[in-house]
Amino acid sequence: MWPWCWLTERRWEKPDQIEERNRMRIGIATDHGGFELKEKLVARLREAGHEITDFGAHQLKPDDDYPDFVIPLARAVAAGKVERGVAVCGSGVGASICANKINGVHACLIEDHFSAKQGVEDDHMNLLCLGGRIEGTELAWDLVQTFLAAEFSQAARHLRRLSKVAALEDPSE
């Protein structure tokens, strides 16, 4: 049995337990505008031990359309088939607009670390959108890691706000 940590108020974990706890099922999608960045992120995510579902594009085609890849990703996030999603298009804007049309998805274009963390903690963001023509590989990787490490706070004020947002998804209203 590992000793108790007074700082975290829980038992210390073996390194393999920490790694196991941090592994996630991640979905990722892109169009031509983010193809190169998506390929690099997929490699890094797999190297970090995450289970990846790649919704495409699987080859670079300059005339493809982001909804063809982002919609299946967003549906998988909403259905719980993947724990979190990453969508990339040229600017990240189109992917964000598209993903948010799916009930249960909280997607946002993120370009800074604070928002990558706070978006999950306060707003239960479950799909990160990036601009393949905007963020470089290293910044994008840092943002993805920050997004994946964050956890929803479950704070009453955030639950209250999110219930008001969820009411907008109810077709009876």
The CA–CA distances, whole Å, from 42 to 15, 38, 65, 83 equal: 23, 6, 20, 15
Q: Examine residue 148 and state whether it is found in any structural domain, yes or no.
A: yes
Neighbours of 75 (CB within 10 A): 19
**Domain count across the chain:** 1
- For 69-73, 83-87, 92-96, 151-155, which range has the lowest pLDDT when averaged over its residues? 151-155
Cα angle value 155/108/51 (rounded, 5°): 85
Among 2-16, 35-49, 70-84, the minimum mean pLDDT is found in 2-16
Give the domain extent around 149: 23-167
- Assign 9 to helix, strand or coil: coil
Burial status of residue 33 (CB atoms within 10 A of its CB: 0-12, 13-18, 19 or more):
buried
**What does the pLDDT look like over 113-171, one tens digit per residue?**
999 999 999 999 999 999 999 999 999 999 999 999 999 988 888 888 888 888 888 77
- What is the full DSSP assignment across 76-141? HHHHTSSSEEEEEESSSHHHHHHHTTSTT--EEE--SHHHHHHHHHHH---EEEEETTTS-HHHHH
Quick: pLDDT tens for 13-67: 444 444 555 799 999 999 999 999 999 999 999 999 999 999 999 999 999 999 9
pTM of the model as a whole: 0.85
Average pLDDT over residues 86-113: 97
| Residue 14 within any structural domain of the chain | no
Does residue 28 form part of some domain? yes
The amino acid at residue 126 is N
30/1: higher pLDDT: 30
As a whole number of angstroms, the distance between CA 119 and CA 126 comes to 9
Least confident of 65-79, 93-107, 157-171: 157-171
Beta carbons of 64 and 76 less than 8 angstroms apart: no
Which CATH number does the domain housing residue 90 bear? Answer: 3.40.1400.10
Q: Does residue 115 belong to any structural domain of this protein?
A: yes
